[in-house]
Chains A and B, each alone.
Chain A
């Protein structure tokens, strides 16, 4: 269809799987991916079935929906209840439960909640419906953040007064640090998120590889891409050379997209942030720079951020850290199912639990 089908080609996949089995050093190896899209791709293509015995692919905290604190969801629900406000969100957030409800529940109750594909669409809406106040639930990692930053910058230069942002964006590398310094996990290699890396560059992982001696290889999302990255990591483990690799050469460079990095820095600064299920990770979140503060939904509407701990028995945190796999949670498939999710990992289509439930093991 577009010339990239080769990266899904089944003969290529067969060759790569054979190669992986040939070079695999043996023993137990835990490789973690930290990207919801990787979680889905691995499940969708059934890649775990193709791994050599002992090579485990673990899902980490890669789904911005899963790691967005319930306080943010609760705040969006609070904002939606204010007259004349429109909540604008990516589809991913619609079913995530806050402490009591989700945005989808609220829509059914009559709130004006709109799903968009691109935050650019919100600007168009805001210009057409001047009397309404539009609040965008801003989530995402570095793949998404530059686009949002551009829109905020644009809103500033156009003097828009009816758009606001509930900022919950997160950064990947600080999370990798937190994972590597956590006592309960042992990770032998990271499959680094391909599209985040398009923005930040593969050089960004050097500090992880060097400090912790854990190989970091950037992977794309087609079966060929993921297998090539796994082969690279396995080879590095074999030869005891950690370091950083790039198996997504057609999209990722060492430096990344500097223009995107600049716009992120212009609009946002780094703050400590809470990750649902994990807790506080220093310097891992973003907040609006002072000159853009008027777009901050929480400040403008004076809505508090109220946190409640996730329900008893919920082990999303352990799943997100890769300490357990979803079936090991006592609630999985019993009290916690896609129709009645307890925690975010089951709600988000990228959540590890939803992926396991949907695609089986």
Chain B
């Protein structure tokens, strides 16, 4: 029940918008995310945008790898 894809909101026309993923476009209802603006990345499920993706959070998640990676390096070095 969870198949939702992150796409870029290309245009907004009232409560509908066009979302694009890899060059594929589909009209999408924005009624659940009225605050979304063109340029946002939104999660789309069954023709409805259900969330605006938080780019800052996405970056932070990716930064955690660097943390993991560096702590792993320390652990490896510490074990030598």
Contacts and interface: CB of A to CB of B under 8 A. Distances in A.
Given A2-B8, A249-B61, A250-B53, A118 B2 contact: no
B32 A260 contact: yes
B48 A2 contact: no
Contact of B1 (A7, A144, A251): A144
B42 to A, nearest CB: 10
Interface residues of B, number: 37
Of the four ranges (under 10, 10 to 19, 20 to 34, 35 or more), the interface on chain A belongs to 35 or more
Given A7-B61, A15-B72, A36-B2, 15 more contacts: A2-B7, A2-B21, A6-B62, A16-B65, A37-B1, A119-B46, A119-B47, A121-B47, A144-B45, A196-B2, A228-B61, A249-B61, A251-B53, A257-B32, A259-B32
Contact of B51 (A3, A118, A121, A251): A251
A315 interface: no
B32 A146 contact: yes
B29 to A, nearest CB: 6
Chain A CB within 10 Å — which of B29, B46, B58, B72 has the most?
B46
B68 A147 contact: no
Nearest to A193: B2
Contacts of A64: 1
B55 A250 contact: yes
A143 B4 contact: yes
Contacts of A252: 51
A18 B45 CA distance: 33
8 contacts: A6-B62, A22-B75, A37-B1, A141-B2, A221-B2, A228-B64, A257-B32, A257-B51
